[in-house]
Amino acid sequence: MPQDSNRFLRQLDILPPEKLAFPITVIGAGAIGSAAVITLAKMGCSDITVWDDDTIEEHNVSNQMCLVKEIGSPKTSALMMLTQLLSGIAIKTRAERYRGQALSGVVIVATDNMEARQEVWKRAKMNRKIPLLIDARMGAEFARIYSIHPVDPDEADFYEQNLYAGEEAERLPCSARAIIYCPTVIGGLIALVVKSHVIGKVVPKEILFDLPSLKLVCPGTNAQVITSH
């Protein structure tokens, strides 16, 4: 963690950074993953590990956190460099596809691959070493975030009902899959969920966000905010 005691002065009464010294694993370093990692690191999370086996292509530059000069570089190494530059936090990286390896701590699934989600869930379900699983999904300008306590049977059943096969996912045209303000909003919401978890605040197990209509809904709760008319 950065040694500068003034770095987190503005947030000390909201969330002291010393409360964030626990492992966080992020599966996926693309649009959502890169935004989440940088936001979490800026918030003070000091033990982040990121998995991804992909490289940055030119079309990635507009919708994820990376530098143009990193085109052709592994997404993990590019994100490690950028996170260090922006936050002073040195994340750990695994430049490989996640294939069911052991996990612990808060786990964030930020991949567009449903098979990877299923592999993560096999390790997370009823695993007391994983207090919280966050699964963030994005399609164009619509987002869905699941926040699941894997040892809670009801939450586990709910999550499995929404863990469908890859072929059931909606297929969007390549030119209609992502725009930068969507993953940055999702990254912020992920950080908010982590903060709520840290302070013991109950978080909805599902958050739906429709960006064009500026509508955020948490099904099953009274939390519904509509800012457009």
Yes or no: domain 16-165+174-226 corresponds to CATH 3.40.50.720: yes
pTM: 0.91
Return the percentage of the chain with pLDDT > 90, whole number: 80
SS3 content of the chain, % helix, strand, coil (to 5): 35, 20, 45
At 156 the pLDDT is 97
At 2 the pLDDT is 45
Joined tokens for residue 12: 């000390």
DSSP of 178-226: --THHHHHHHHHHHHHHHHHHHT----SEEEEETTTTEEE-TTSS-EEE
Q: Could you read off the pLDDT of 151-210 as tens digits, one per residue?
A: 999 999 999 999 977 544 455 444 446 799 999 999 999 999 999 999 999 989 999 999
Cα–Cα distance measured from residue 206 to residue 93, given in angstroms and rounded to the nearest whole number: 28
Q: Is the pLDDT of residue 228 over 50?
A: no
At 171 the pLDDT is 54
Q: Is the pLDDT of residue 1 over 80?
A: no
H/E segment holding residue 143: strand 142-148
Q: How far apart are the first and last CA of the chain?
A: 44
Q: Could you read off the pLDDT of 73-123 as tens digits, one per residue?
A: 999 999 999 999 999 999 999 999 999 999 999 999 999 889 999 999 999
